[in-house]
Amino acid sequence: MLLSKFDLSYGQGKVQIDTAGAKTLEVLNVTQRPALENLALAFNHAVESESIGTPPLNQKLSSGDQVTVIISDITRSWMRQNLICPLLVDYLSGTIGIPLENITFLVALGTHRFQTEKELRSLVSDQVFEKVSVVNHDCKSPSLVNVGRTSQGNDVFVNPLITGGRKVIVISATSHHIMSGYSGGRKSILPGVSGIDTILRNHINSLDPELPKSNPQIGMGEMGNNPVHDDMSEAADMVSPHFGINIALNASGEICRLMAGDFKLAWEESCKDCQESMGVEITERADMAVVSCGGFPKDMNLYQSCKSFFNAVRAVKDDGEIVFLAACPEGGGTAEFFDWIKPLREGRLDAALRENFSIDGYIFFAFCEAMAKRRVHFLTDIPPQELDGIPLDAYNDAKALLENVSFKEKSVYVLPYAGNTVPFLKNF
């Protein structure tokens, strides 16, 4: 007899879903990897004896250097960079002898909102915030610096704190990404600390150049001939970061591996690690999928929750159904996200996005595109009226949702941590 009841993470709590009656049932999940037992020791090994493709960090920097450390914003707080930042500051100041006033942490916001002081403290830890300068990137600042033009004709404007001879260290975590193939690495430069026009010029490559749909060259794990990835990589090469520190986490959100060294090579190693740890092979797509983002902060807003949805879509037939659990206490994530409902209702979403491209707009576009051939039952804290026009059935109550869902005689996948579980169809 199949196990039918699952307690799945939803916001800060749990929701029970009963899949009784399913013809087949399979849980798609990543293999749990052990957390690093001694993070400080692992950090020292990563930046010294295990440095990938470049000399140890203490041989690449000197006490007189000005250093900028690029970190991610609150939407990626799950990567636990707050545990790495204190180790890096102690290493830079204690081991190498760089004065604290020579160290600046730059938050790679891309087009996201500025972080509050409380959020900045949470990103780097209180002890780091009290010691060094921690600043928000401003993608609309008039002081951005042009460092070159990519082969696609994109003028690359970046934050001045990563130019002028400053030594740049990037802390990031790698996951599959719907546009660039993988996150992390070069994405910390573009869009992370780039200008708004540079970012939008890059991201519009997500749309097919001729047809009203997404560009078929982009996608999870896709980097060969991916114009979004290629443009990002060229921009990062112009900045030429001095060192990269890549964080890998296990299914419980604990740091299980650090890959550091040459900015590009260490990140490429993290991509391999990501595919091996987060990629899940399936032999066929199912009739249905039950999907949890993994709870807060993965489902803090719909913009972030879409990643879990995109992962789940890969495991479901075109005419299938998805039960999607995402609390989204912050609603869409930005005011703009739901603004795209208007052109959707008017039947001109693709045209509107090409006229006034934005990252939020594309994620909304891809979300609707993925739902076009599937029925979606959405459990959320977002008031259903705010979702009116989006092709899904929204519920604020799990009981009401389940009354309208039938698993009888259907093949079902359950994804308890869809934010870091990426199904790939096996090639025979």
Helices (H) and strands (E) in the chain, counts: 14, 20
Q: Domain end: 235, 259, 276, which one?
A: 276
* Residue 89 sits in the same domain as residue 220: yes
Cα–Cα distance list, 70 to 41, 107, 134, 248 (Å): 22, 6, 10, 17
Contact, 9 vs 294, CB < 8 A? Answer: yes
Give the pLDDT of residue 2.
58
* Residue 225 sits in the same domain as residue 322: no
* Residue 119 sits in the same domain as residue 22: no
* Residue 365 sits in the same domain as residue 384: yes
pLDDT along the chain (428 residues), means of 10: 83 95 93 93 98 98 98 82 97 98 97 91 96 97 98 98 97 93 96 96 95 94 94 98 96 91 98 93 96 91 93 95 97 89 96 92 94 94 93 95 95 93 82
As a whole number of angstroms, the distance between CA 385 and CA 394 comes to 9
* Residue 207 sits in the same domain as residue 78: yes
Query: Burial, 405: exposed, middle or buried (Cβ in 10 Å; 0-12, 13-18, 19+)?
Result: middle
Closest CA to 307 of 180, 188, 411, 208: 180
* Residue 136 sits in the same domain as residue 10: no
Give the pLDDT of residue 297.
82
Q: Which residues contact 16 (CB under 8 A, 6 or more apart)?
A: 5, 6, 7, 8, 398
State whether residue 350 is helix, strand or coil: helix
Contact, 342 vs 308, CB < 8 A? Answer: no
* Residue 334 sits in the same domain as residue 356: yes
Cα–Cα distance list, 155 to 158, 210, 216, 229 (Å): 10, 23, 24, 16
Tens digits of residue pLDDT in 241-278: 999 999 999 877 899 999 999 999 999 999 999 999 99
* Residue 18 sits in the same domain as residue 89: no
* Residue 241 sits in the same domain as residue 175: yes
The domain spanning residue 163 has which CATH number?
3.40.50.11440
As a whole number of angstroms, the distance between CA 300 and CA 379 comes to 13
Tens digits of residue pLDDT in 159-171: 999 999 999 999 9
Please tell me the total count of domains within the chain: 2
Q: Which residues contact 210 (CB under 8 A, 6 or more apart)?
A: none
* Residue 233 sits in the same domain as residue 334: no
Residue 377 belongs to what domain range?
5-30+283-425
* Residue 344 sits in the same domain as residue 266: no
Cα angle, residue 26 at apex, residues 20 and 32 outer, rounded to 5°: 125
* Residue 387 sits in the same domain as residue 264: no
Residue 185: which region, alpha, beta or left (left: phi > 0; alpha: psi -120 to 50)? left
Q: At what angle do helices 302-313 and 359-371 cross, to 10 degrees?
A: 40
